[in-house]
Amino acid sequence: MERGKNSQQVISGPPPVKLVNRETKPEGTIVNVQGIQIGSSEVVVMAGPCAVENREQLLAIARAVQASGGKILRGGAFKPRTSPYSFTGLKEEGLKLLATVRQETGLPVVTEVMDTRQVEMVCRYADILQVGSRNMQNFALLEEVGQCNIPVLLKRGMSATIKEFLFAAEYILKHGNQQVILCERGIRTFETSTRYTLDLNAVPMLKKLSHLPVIVDPSHGTGHWWMVPWLAKAAVAVGADGLLVEVHYKPEEALSDGPQCLRPDKFDSMMQEINKVARAVGRKISIPKPIHELSNSTV
């Protein structure tokens, strides 16, 4: 009988998260990125191309994003792809282009790091290290970015539970890095009409369980550009601290994820709409004035 009791204790599961637990910091964490506060009253929008393709493309999109109120430039230099024959990024050359455009626009940069061997290099160029969905449980990588003094944007794994997501964040905090941003980006379900199922339930749940700021990626969460503004507004309404959105001047020619990219004029319209939602729920988005209609002309 005693033996059975001990067996039950062994399989009872891991202890609850400690460092990311809301009880440890009821007021919530604010992650500061070059003066931009993620987790404050402002909804911070990070936007840009899925993949860095060339300087002209990146600079033009960055300027359009900035003109519409985007605060942080996103762009992939390393692109994990399902097929090894797809475009996998410009690697360090892409990082250099991101740094160059940051210098010209003043926009901080968020970009993905995929491997422990890349961390030191990506840290030289990025303001936020993104750990993608496929690497959410790459524990060696989580430990490595946990030792960096750079904010980390941690994406939820496509098949991860909320508990597993929070434990992944716990790895980073346990190794010393307290600057973690959680990102809901859609999970894999039986539904096939969208790329993933964007789990907006996760936003209030994560904010209840954890003190870390939470942002939403409606681009990957849906896979359809026309759905992005709708889900972006919904994300702000349920309490998201920010958005991660893909923008491209020529989505039909994009080297990665073109169908989910907004053209600059659609991004501009979305920013105005989500600003209304933000104000309705007691938040704000800092949009430059005046907002001009952005051209769809090519660059």
Predicted confidence (pLDDT) per residue in 217-244, tens digit: 999 999 999 999 999 999 999 999 999 9
Question: Per-residue confidence at 70, pLDDT binned at 50, 70, 90?
Answer: very high
Per-residue pLDDT, 173:
98
Residue 69, SS3?
coil
Per-residue pLDDT, 293:
46
Nearest of 82, 67, 87, 80 to residue 112 by alpha carbon: 80
Which domain range does residue 173 map to? 42-280
Cβ neighbours of 1 (radius 10 Å):
4
Mean pLDDT of 186-206: 97
For residue 269, is it within any domain?
yes
**What is the spatial distance between Cα 283 and Cα 41, in angstroms, rounded to a whole number?**
5
**What is the spatial distance between Cα 29 and Cα 43, in angstroms, rounded to a whole number?**
14
Nearest of 172, 272, 217, 188 to residue 74 by alpha carbon: 217
Type of residue found at 167: F
| DSSP strand pairing (31-33 vs 36-38) | antiparallel
Residues 163 and 134 sit within 8 Å (Cβ to Cβ): no
Per-residue pLDDT, 13:
59
**What is the spatial distance between Cα 275 and Cα 245, in angstroms, rounded to a whole number?**
15
Predicted confidence (pLDDT) per residue in 74-89, tens digit: 999 998 778 888 888 8
Per-residue pLDDT, 286:
85
Number of domains in the chain: 1
* pLDDT above 60 for 285: yes
For residue 196, is it within any domain?
yes
H or E segment and range at residue 124 = helix 119-125
For residue 152, is it within any domain?
yes
For residue 146, is it within any domain?
yes
For residue 234, is it within any domain?
yes
Residue 48, SS3?
strand
CATH number at residue 126: 3.20.20.70
Question: Per-residue confidence at 289, pLDDT binned at 50, 70, 90?
Answer: low
For residue 10, is it within any domain?
no
For residue 206, is it within any domain?
yes
DSSP 8-state secondary structure symbol assigned to residue 86:
S
Q: To the nearest whole number, what is the mean pLDDT of the chain?
A: 92
For residue 213, is it within any domain?
yes
**Is the pTM of the predicted complex or chain greater than 0.85?**
yes
Predicted confidence (pLDDT) per residue in 235-269, tens digit: 999 999 999 999 999 999 999 889 999 999 999 99
- Residue percentage of the chain with pLDDT more than 70: 92
Predicted confidence (pLDDT) per residue in 89-147, tens digit: 899 999 999 999 999 999 999 999 999 999 999 999 999 999 999 999 999 999 999 99
Cβ neighbours of 8 (radius 10 Å):
9
CA dihedral 105, 106, 107, 111 (to 10 degrees): 100
